Amino acid sequence: MPVDFLNFQHLYYFWIVGREGGISHASEVLDISPSTISSQISQLEKALQVKLFRRVGRNIRLTDVGQIAFRYAGQIFGLGREMTHALKGWDTGGPFSLQVGIADAVPKLVATKLLEPALAVSPEIRLTCREGRPELLLAELALHRLDLILLDAPADPGSTIRAFSRLLQDCDIAIFGTPELLRKYSHGFPESLEGAPVLLPTPDSSIRKSFGRWLEVRGLQPRVVGEFEDSALMKAFGEIGTGLFPAPLLIADDLERQHGVKCLGSLEGTYARYYAVTVERQLEHPAVQAICDSAGEAEA
């Protein structure tokens, strides 16, 4: 069939179904009935004269030729987004955009440091940042609504969304608190953390997991006062002395300057890692390239 007559709407629906792993999930993403999606994929199969999916029990899976079509579709829609960027100003001297998703668990001060190299690419760059849960940001990334997302863990390799994770920062974790709390708990640190009031990220945070392992090894049990998805909110409570809290040692100076808290001590053997996640292995966006280059582009 001549490419001139390829129905790209049908191709897009096929690509979303392949990416989401089924018609029902694709229906939720596209806000279109499953029957409509099935019908349009059938028309695409008829036009291409191939079977793109096979049924396995109650589920469907891409056929071998379907996997080939899925890869090409991803490239097609990726190029379409690049074209959109170009038409927005990349080639005309006007401002060009960088759309970034930032997971709630990534401290805002860390995100600022990681994104700073992008601002040096062009004085005309327009940076847009969105916050959210990793799974929602990954879905937006797969739809090419975001150029890059910042996570505190690499993208799940078992996900239906094919994403590439690059390590941007690897730093120690430390404990911070108000001067009053430090005077109370500095003597005998880290054993002084036993029973001490602490503010923690939610359990799915990499800092929480690393800190939890560190406490378990030392047999320490602080008193958890609060748990927070939003790291900025956790720091706000830390600023008023509600409890001690863990954060990357990388931003110690910024925390002292902005929140008036000081470092009680670093936690030996702990780490905080932050990743840039894209849907393209070969980076085309100059600002994304600058971000990854600044960190040595260490790939997970």
Q: At what angle do helices 8-20 and 23-30 cross, to 10 degrees?
A: 120
CA-to-CA dists, residue 8 to 41, 77, 81, 236, angstroms: 11, 9, 14, 48
- CATH 1.10.10.10 residue spans of the chain: 3-75
- CATH 3.40.190.10 residue spans of the chain: 95-170+274-299, 173-270
CATH 2.30.31.20 applies to domain 173-270: no
pLDDT tens figures, 117-171? 998 887 778 899 999 888 889 888 887 788 899 999 998 876 667 788 999 999 9
CA angle 187, 107, 207 (to 5 degrees): 55
pLDDT given for residue 257 in this prediction = 93
* 285 Rama sector, left if φ>0, alpha if ψ -120 to 50, beta otherwise: beta
CATH 3.30.470.20 applies to domain 95-170+274-299: no
pLDDT given for residue 178 in this prediction = 97
Pick the range with the lowest mean pLDDT from 70-84, 113-127, 209-223, 244-258: 70-84
pLDDT given for residue 85 in this prediction = 60
Burial class for 5, CB neighbours closer than 10 Å (0-12, 13-18, 19+):
exposed
Give residue 231's pLDDT band: very low, low, confident or very high (50, 70, 90).
Answer: confident
What top-level class would CATH report for the domain 3-75? mainly alpha
Q: β-strand 223-228 against 126-132: which pairing, if any?
A: unpaired
